Structure 1
């Protein structure tokens, strides 16, 4: 059952633990910690600033697909792995690209990882990690509360094309024996989301990481819902995945992903002969990488405001007697767990859900909010500066059967909100309250305003 991450000595390796502090973050695989890393903001500030080619304060975009050499022998040395990016030698941008590498360093620093590399999408990151860790016939243990696309990848696509199977179970119940019994001799990965989409269950990362390591598997965590807020590698996880399209981008205009973890693992994914990223080719475009690099410095500020607005809305909606799920509320079953694990000062997340009971009520509610009062937008995704609203049961979680949705707490009337920060808090609350009143969604009318919460 035990699985080992590949060694660092892979063809075309770039991340070398001896290559300088800007390339060495924190490895949770071997238990080492760098004492200077205190939180994601401090981590980001330690990355060497890359200047533009002519001294610009912003780095240059290396838009070349291929790279030239001065001597023909150099190409052979590149393909043998004797030369590489650490010496400013590049082959092809599907392998390594300077602009993409720099953004990887920034995201690695944010996540307290030794290394990171960026992909063309979050799903590309997830699929590539699973395919790098698992061979044909291997097995995954995963949470039954996952984004619908991830669930479909694990439940349908991978079994069909590679006989990689998955056992889904409730990892939030913390039933040690039930979880252990799901592992088989071919299990290679324990997979879950730090905060689940869309039900907002919080994973006990230290507990699950310890259990996974006891069972000899690699612990992979999707941290898309909680960048800056949670640092899963510091809590014991081995690999962290992001859909960079969401909070990290913040503009709902880019599709991108990231994989963070040990240098040996990132090197293995870029191996010329066996690397999932190298051979499947879901590489981030350098122009996208440049855009991300410009947005990372203000990610902590954006996260704080997303969280502040979400907590304000959740608190007052709860006071109105509505069924609100938000980890920042004290009655959330995982509130104290999140409080213990979170990096202090950033909040409890920018996502909240509101259960209105029926799909008809939910549809009317989000329609009114968008088309009558301009509170937000009916759209999937998250992390945008405007509030995005959807009904997961008929959208982002529609890949799950009705029975699977019921089991995981996705009701037909569940509304998922990615809370934005545009407009004033009072303005947005008055719009939200108007929708609730006009559609008679509050049984007992309560007066007050959002700030009074």
Structure 2
């Protein structure tokens, strides 16, 4: 990819494929509030001057001269100068969404994919070769845990050591010099809501020459891992960023050199594995990101109110915004506090049967929310994690990760009024308590 600004570009840009503006402005944006950084991101106009950008729906792109095609495949001309080959490689609309994601996360570049898992798997395959090693948190989304513990060892000879990331000495001792390439964890763990000490983990990882990769799906806007030292930030955009429970998508945010390497025609994991985002999906998502900050504030506000009230009722509730949460002060020290403590809370009902009974009342009797996986929807979504999104983990692995059999993960929505939804919650708890004392 060309390294310097070229006067013949149709769009102004810098040396990476997905950023906008000059280097000074981009560097300044990395230290900004996420919403402020998003507001500085170049806004694409429609082909005919519309306030919304046009969707580039083409799968392939034409050139005016035969020699241009050769130069594109040789890497001499690329999207930084408005030369496009094929939408599995680069697409202008997807690039625009990548600029927004990079601005939000404070990274040089970003590229968006067809799913969160494709973003995670692609970046790890780009960073690790056969025989490589990953040190990862023992509290991860079940699909990521399965990828690292089963799929990678079988298919790629990449092995993982799972550790308690609260124990920095354990993290450091798990690193094998010359072999370990990546330190991987979630900013807020799924589903335990354990908060990672990102600055200290980055310090440990960087001292050993590792690339620190952080999944920030649970805390967009709330936490900015790259501003705290992380090298790469991955997302399942399907969740809070989309907000509509209607789109599957992911993103890799990080250095321009990494994103460019992942799109390399010969060695790029994204290019060659092909988890391509559809341009129409990218357009829809780019229209939702501008109000993500507003949505996160309301998700977080309601989660804190519900968690506080549940605690007063004697319910065993887990929420990082509560002062008794083990990492409450840590999160306060890292968070962009305007956006609260996040939109997820957990209720520990101790057993699966008790959890299922309460969820059934909440959905079917009082219409508080839906029994469904995923998160970030405007309705409250709830699931018993041990038998759903963490079911890929063994019972022992779940215990180690702090996942109780009766742990209900709730993504608190914002539909209806807060008091209306709280009244529904109270009714469900009262009906539950008629036959099952609250633990």
TM (normalized to structure 1)? 0.91
Task: After superposing the two structures, state which structure 1 stretch, 369-378 or 189-198, moved more.
Answer: 369-378
Among 108, 118, 123, the alignment partner of 2:117 is 123
Distance in 2 between the 1:20 and 1:419 partners? 33
Query: In the TM superposition, what are the counterparts of 1:173-188 in structure 2 within 5 Å?
Result: 174-176=167-169, 178-184=170-176, 185-188=178-181
Among 331, 339, 343, the alignment partner of 2:324 is 331
CA contact (8 A) 2:318 2:345 kept: yes
Distance in 1 between the 2:391 and 2:22 partners? 41
Q: Which residue of 1 aligns with 2:163?
A: 169
Match of 1:406, SS state, is: helix
CA contact (8 A) 1:99 1:286 kept: yes
* CA-to-aligned-CA distance 1:252-277 (integer Å, 9 cap, x gap): 00000000001101000000110000
CA contact (8 A) 1:61 1:99 kept: yes
Q: Which residue of 2 aligns with 1:48?
A: 42
Q: Which residue of 2 aligns with 1:4?
A: none
Distance in 1 between the 2:60 and 2:438 partners? 66
Structure 1 moving runs of 4+ over 6 Å: none
CA contact (8 A) 1:8 1:263 kept: no
CA contact (8 A) 2:168 2:201 kept: no
Deviation, 1:37, is 3.6
Deviation, 1:444, is 8.5
Q: CA RMSD in A?
A: 2.0
Q: Which residue of 1 aligns with 2:15?
A: 16
CA contact (8 A) 2:38 2:104 kept: yes
Q: Which residue of 2 aligns with 1:394?
A: 387
Deviation, 1:82, is 1.1
Query: In the TM superposition, what are the counterparts of 1:354-433 in structure 2 within 5 Å?
Result: 354-433=347-426
Distance in 2 between the 1:292 and 1:430 partners? 33
- Is residue 72 of structure 1 aligned with residue 66 of structure 2? yes
Task: After superposing the two structures, state which structure 1 stretch, 37-46 or 304-313, moved more.
Answer: 37-46
CA contact (8 A) 1:67 1:91 kept: yes
CA contact (8 A) 1:23 1:105 kept: no
Q: Which residue of 2 aligns with 1:340?
A: 333
Among 99, 109, 123, the alignment partner of 1:105 is 99
CA contact (8 A) 2:14 2:21 kept: no
Distance in 2 between the 1:15 and 1:129 partners? 23
Match of 2:21, SS state, is: helix
Question: How many residues are aligned here?
Answer: 428
Deviation, 1:22, is 2.6
CA contact (8 A) 1:25 1:109 kept: no
Match of 1:383, SS state, is: coil
Q: Which residue of 2 aligns with 1:139?
A: 133
Match of 1:226, SS state, is: coil
- Is residue 189 of structure 1 aligned with residue 188 of structure 2? no
CA contact (8 A) 2:30 2:106 kept: no
Gaps of 5+ in 2: 4-12
Among 149, 152, 159, the alignment partner of 2:146 is 152
Q: Which residue of 2 aligns with 1:318?
A: 311
* CA-to-aligned-CA distance 1:272-301 (integer Å, 9 cap, x gap): 110000000001110000000000000000
* CA-to-aligned-CA distance 1:306-347 (integer Å, 9 cap, x gap): 000000000000011111000000000100000000012110
Q: Which residue of 2 aligns with 1:223?
A: 216
TM (normalized to structure 2)? 0.94
Q: Which residue of 2 aligns with 1:254?
A: 247
Among 257, 272, 275, the alignment partner of 2:268 is 275
Q: Which residue of 2 aligns with 1:307?
A: 300
CA contact (8 A) 1:26 1:114 kept: no
Deviation, 1:427, is 0.8
CA contact (8 A) 1:202 1:334 kept: yes
